[in-house]
Structure 1
Amino acid sequence: MDEGSIQERLLSSKGMDEHNLRRRISMESKKIWRIATPGVISRVSSFGTIVVTQSFIGHISAVDLAGYALVQTLSVRFVNGILVNAFTSNRNKQFKTNLICASQIGMSSATETLCGQAYGAKQYHMMGIYLQRSWIIDLITLLILLPVFIFGTQIFRLLGQAEGIAESAGYISVWFIPFVVSLIFSLTVQMYLQAQQKNLIIAWLSALQFAIHIFCSWLFVYVLDLGLAGAMAALCISSWFLVGGEFVYIFGGWCPDTWKGFSIAATKDLWPVVKLSVSSGLMICLELWYYAILVLLAGYTKDAQVSISAFSICLNINAWIVMIILGLMGAACVRVANELGSGDAKAVRFSIKVIMGTSVTMGIFFWIFCLAFGNKIGYLFTNEEEVAETISRLSVLLAFTVLLGSIFPVLSGVAVGSGLQSKVALINLICFYGIGLPVGIALGYWFNLGVEGIWVGLTGGVLTQTFSLSTLIWRTDWDQEVSKTSARLNQWYLESPENDKHVSGVA
């Protein structure tokens, strides 16, 4: 065979490989976006209700805006992190989203892992059991955490916040209780449906929730002139609309393979689930509480009311954009969990590469967007000139935080899908509290940089966390993770009620 023929064959082979690679990327991208698109819509819409409420309150009263910022960023994040932790541990048990809200997210995150792996292993009936376990654990956890909301005024006084802000925060805290209860069900159900790629219904319900929320906020605040109470009532009504729609979908028979009715099996083996949720929840809590503490620190600067409001608004803008990336995080978790459950390590590696490429591309787009319009965003949330100007000064730092926010959530999703929560929790502890928080305190107070210095510390913590997570995922032996997943699924497997008469349930 002559040299020309050999080169021709090599070029032909290379062309075929490139074609196959493009086809594989296209197929994987379709799988990712089939999962992520409804998740993006639902997360942007659901979190949008919080942002819209903040905007309405910001045009009512500057003091109430600061009070809302404290409760939503501190109390709700704290609790939500713990609760999502419970759902995560539930998921981990099969595998083996603000203080209060943060708690919820942590407990719920385990369900995502467990349900995703159960679905990949075709253990469909276990998904409904994991969902019910998460409800039991979350409700008990929330009951223990309710004093955070009931005694909001006293807590914020003890934390040294101004009297007017503390009183407003205490009033708003009570309004947040029904909202937080709704999160227990909405978050866990979303993870349960997402694992079986049925989250399109969540997207529709969330979009309707957002529309209802805007209408109710306008009606209660401007037409009926109910002020702060009207804004918070609209938030509660729209959040429970979402829960009601989810219940109708599940109980109405649209999940016949995974929902077999309420079962006493859900009350078994709760302690192992609780232990697993600790590591899962700790991973998320450390991250959510980090942001909450930084907002608290902003309350100790010279102009506390302006600093709290501006910092919280920037965090919520960042969080709203990150909600899109969290849709990809959910897809990363589901794809990794599904492929681990099916025993395909190569597919896990390829899926991670495609998801990361997609998220970084989106992060660059929003980075440019924040740089271009950062000096105008503040006026959407407040009429206070000082607050808007402070947000404008933070816009460059906000842009870089958004860019990093396109990377680390997806890496966290990969970790959750593979059950590496305890390692991520350690990384979060070191990066956020060993690096980011001390740097923020030093720059904000010792170097008198105020809220800008605190945000620099925030960005430093996120930067080191992103680098550490990248190293963790890069060094993970996915063949070994496949073996671990198989062992865990077999260990926690229960027979379907249809096949095992000893597992009784209520239809």
Structure 2
Amino acid sequence: MESDAEVALIEKRREINRRGSFIKEFGLESKSLWKLSGPAIFTYICQYSLGALTQTFAGQVGELELASVSVGNSVIGGLSYGVMMGMGSALETLCGQAYGAGQMRMLGIYMQRSWVILLVTAIVLLPVYIFAPPILRFFGESDEISRGAGTFALWVIPQLFAYAMNFPIQKFLQAQKKMMAMAWISVVVLVLHVFFSWLLILKLEWGLVGAAVTLNVSWWLVVILQLIYIIVTKSDGAWSGFSMSAFHDLFSFVRLSLASAVMLCLELWYLYVLVVIAGHLDNPVVPVDALSICMNINGWDAMISIGFNAAISVRVSNELGAGNPAAAKFSVWVVSITSMLIAVVCMVLVIATRDVFPYLFTNSEAVANETTRLSVLLGITVLLNGLQPVLSGVAVGAGWQAIVAYVNIGCYYIVGLPLGIVLGFVLDFGSMGIWGGMIGGIVLQTIILIVITSTRNWNKEASEAESRVKKWGGSVAHH
């Protein structure tokens, strides 16, 4: 018989082994996660910079040009970007799960199916671009900004069709972990974009038209270079040319695309609404400028979260498609811990530099002071960015878009917005009140997503992924 001391020693050794293997597993999962999220974060930052840099160059021309491009970019462009990216993210679920299940040929067909749907969506969105001035005036924008933004919107229509092509390509490459190719293409285009922005907007003095032409060319370059890459490499059998199968089963595809679009747009627009509401405060110029600076910083920070969002949705959909629910669940833990650690660092950075960073964006003392006052709320939002988008990525990877869409409507628009309006206007807390209320909505949504993620039956999710791949791939896989 072993003595108590020996039993305790054996138990201790087991515990150390268990801990060691957990750390090892964590390290391995982290490695595969960074392989995905690193290039994804880089790609998103480059693509986000296309619009942001165009705004910067337009700002060198004049205040009206800056306002026109900002409104054109964030309101008109933001609307279509949200819809297109959302519709395209249905592919994250499908391509990811088909790739996990080894149904390579389906990826190309899914991408073409998504092109059909997104190009039709682009045509549906055209009136927003054509009638931009009256639409903007309706929302209380001034005449001259509405006119400028309207001119910019007309010229930037080709960008809308580039979005329709780009997002399905992005999700197609993402599902196969071809992130580095996208990152290289994005950086090449960004360098060209800076040169042509300088040439057309400042040197040749094309103003708004120059800004629009540069954006169009840059986005189409991204699309064309990615397409060349896919066609030349054949994408390991995922691309076998154009196929009529793309027109099969469009209806169920549209349903998932719409659920994805609603889920994503509700999140994107929630923060745009913040700036619009602040425009109704007394003396709105200072709070709107301060909020815009905060949103800009939040935008850069959100690109990190969106990179993790993309990575976790690929990991979850691949593992569920391959029938490994335990691996999918472990992946969620690793990405949540990693992302939260980065979020804490970002929050500390924002709060530590709150007296300094506003002056990077403005010379106005009043705007800088208001931004400093809002910086604690910015810090809290940055912290929430650590977990909330990651959990949304898990939802996309597992195909729960419809559930999350309902959660978003409830938390954001039934709780957050009214709370923000009450705090901001009724209780007179101004822009801090509006934002504070909206943070309430994000906190509630994050708590509900944590509950959903931790109570799901992952074995059931894996078998659902298998039947989804069979249902939407079966009819084509046999041809």
Normalising by structure 2, we get a TM-score of: 0.94
Q: Which residue of 1 aligns with 2:473?
A: 493
Query: Aligned runs of 1:13-162 on 2, under 5 Å?
Result: 13-76=14-77, 98-162=78-142
Q: Is the 8 A contact 1:193 1:199 kept in 2?
A: yes
Give the paired residue count. 478
Seen in structure 2, the aligned counterparts of structure 1 residues 245 and 485 have a Cα distance that, compared at 3 Å, is same
Change (3 A) 1:356 1:372: same
State the Cα deviation string for residues 2-52 of structure 1 (Å, max 9, x = none).
233222222221111111111101111111111111101101111122222
Match of 1:464 among 420, 435, 444: 444
The range that moved more, 266-275 or 458-467, is 458-467
Match of 1:354 in 2: 334
Q: Secondary structure at the match of 1:329?
A: helix
Match of 1:435 in 2: 415
Residues 157 and 449 of structure 1: CA distance in aligned 2, closer, same or farther (over 3 Å): same
Taking the aligned partners of 1:147 and 1:313, their CA distance within structure 2 comes to 30
Q: What are the superposed Cα offsets for residues 223-273 of structure 1, whole Å, 9 maximum, x if unpaired?
A: 334434333333333222211210110122341410000000001111111
**CA displacement at 1:306 relative to structure 2:** 4.4
SS state of the match for residue 282, structure 2? Answer: coil
1:142 & 1:330 partners in 2: Cα distance?
23
- SS of structure 1 residue aligned to 2:111: helix
> Structure 1 residue 282 and structure 2 residue 283: aligned?
no
Percent identity of paired positions between Structure 1 and Structure 2: 38
306-315 or 150-159: bigger deviation: 306-315
> Partner amino acid for 1:479?
N
Q: Paired residue for 2:403?
A: 423
The verdict on how the C-alpha distance between 1:482 and 1:194 changes in structure 2, with shifts beyond 3 A counting, is: same
Checking the alignment, whether the CA contact within 8 Å between 1:333 and 1:416 is kept in structure 2 is yes
Give the aligned partner of residue 88 of structure 1.
none
What residue number does 2:322 align with? Answer: 342
Of residues 209, 217, 222, the one that matches 1:237 is 217
Contact 2:61 2:202 in 1 (8 A): no
How far off is 1:333 after superposition? 0.5
Partner of 1:93: none
Q: Which amino acid aligns with 1:68?
A: V
5+ residue gaps in structure 1?
77-97, 501-507
Give CA-to-partner distance per residue, 1:72-129, whole Å, 9 cap, x none.
33222xxxxxxxxxxxxxxxxxxxxx11111101110101110000000000000000
Q: 1:372 to 1:53 in 2, by over 3 A?
A: farther
Of 300-309 and 37-46, more deviation after overlay is shown by 300-309
2:284 and 2:151 mapped to 1: Cα distance? 19
**Alignment partner, residue 403 of structure 1:** 383
Q: Which residue of 1 aligns with 2:248?
A: 268
1:478 aligns with 2:458: yes
On the 8 A contact 1:58/1:383 being kept in 2, the answer is no
Pair 1:414 & 2:397 matched: no
> What's the counterpart of residue 257 of structure 1?
237
What aligned pairs does 1:354-393 form with structure 2 within 5 A after superposition?
354-383=334-363, 386-393=366-373
SS for the counterpart of 2:140 is: coil
Deviation at residue 386 of structure 1 after TM alignment: 4.6
Which residue is equivalent to 1:292?
272
Report the RMSD for the aligned CA atoms in angstroms: 2.0
Take 1:238 and 1:376, find their aligned partners in 2: how far apart are those partners? Answer: 33
Moved more, 309-318 or 333-342: 309-318
Alpha-carbon offset, residue 389 of structure 1: 4.2
The match for 1:314 among 286, 294, 297 is 294
Please state how far the C-alpha of 1:383 moved relative to its aligned partner. Answer: 4.9
| Kept in 2: contact 1:283–1:428 (CA 8 A) | yes
Q: 1:445 to 1:408 in 2, by over 3 A?
A: same
Q: Which residue does the alignment assign to 1:505?
A: none
Question: Counterparts of 2:372 and 2:200 in 1: how far apart (Å)?
Answer: 30
Deviation track 1:294-318 (CA, whole Å, cap 9, x = no partner) reads: 2222222334444444433322321
Cα distance change on mapping 1:60 and 1:487 into 2, 3 Å: same
TM-superposition CA deviations, 1:180-205 (whole Å, max 9, x none)? 32222222211110101111100111
Which residue matches 1:190? Answer: 170
Per the TM alignment, residue 411 of structure 1 is displaced from its structure 2 partner at its CA by 0.1
CA–CA separation in structure 2 for the residues paired with 1:74 and 1:59:
21
Residue 391 of structure 1 deviates from its aligned partner by 3.1
CA drift of 1:172 comes to: 2.6
Change (3 A) 1:233 1:308: farther
**Aligned-partner Cα distance in 1 for 2:282–2:141:** 12
One-letter amino acid of the structure 2 residue matched with residue 468 of structure 1: I
Specify the code of the residue in structure 1 equivalent to 2:460.
Q
Alpha-carbon distance change, 272 to 100 in structure 1, aligned in 2, over 3 angstroms: same
Distance 2:93 2:223 in 1: 21
**Matches of 2:357 and 2:219, distance apart in 1:** 26
The aligned amino acid for 2:314 is V
CA distance in 2, matches of 1:105, 1:28: 27
- Alignment partner of 1:291: what SS? helix
1:384: Cα distance to partner?
5.1
Are 1:329 and 2:309 matched, yes or no?
yes
C-alpha change, 1:213 and 1:139, in structure 2 (3 Å) is: same
Of 429-438 and 45-54, the range deviating more from structure 2? 45-54
Gaps of 5+ in 2: none
SS at 2:107's partner residue?
A: helix
Displacement after TM superposition at 1:379 (Å): 4.0
Q: State how far apart, in whole Å, the 2-side matches of 1:323 and 1:348 are.
A: 23
Q: Please say if residues 245 and 476 of structure 2, whose CA atoms lie closer than 8 Å, have aligned partners that are also in contact.
A: no
- Return the offset for 1:217: 2.5
Contact 2:189 2:218 in 1 (8 A): yes
In 1, the alpha carbon distance for the partners of 2:130 and 2:48 equals 23
Amino acid at match of 1:369: L
Worse-superposed segment, 140-149 or 272-281:
272-281
Taking a change above 3 Å as real, the CA distance of residues 381 and 238 of structure 1, as seen in their structure-2 partners, is farther
Choose which of 189, 195, 213 in structure 2 pairs with 1:215.
195
Structure 2 distance, partners of 1:324, 1:159, is 31
Say which SS state the counterpart of residue 262 (structure 1) adopts: coil
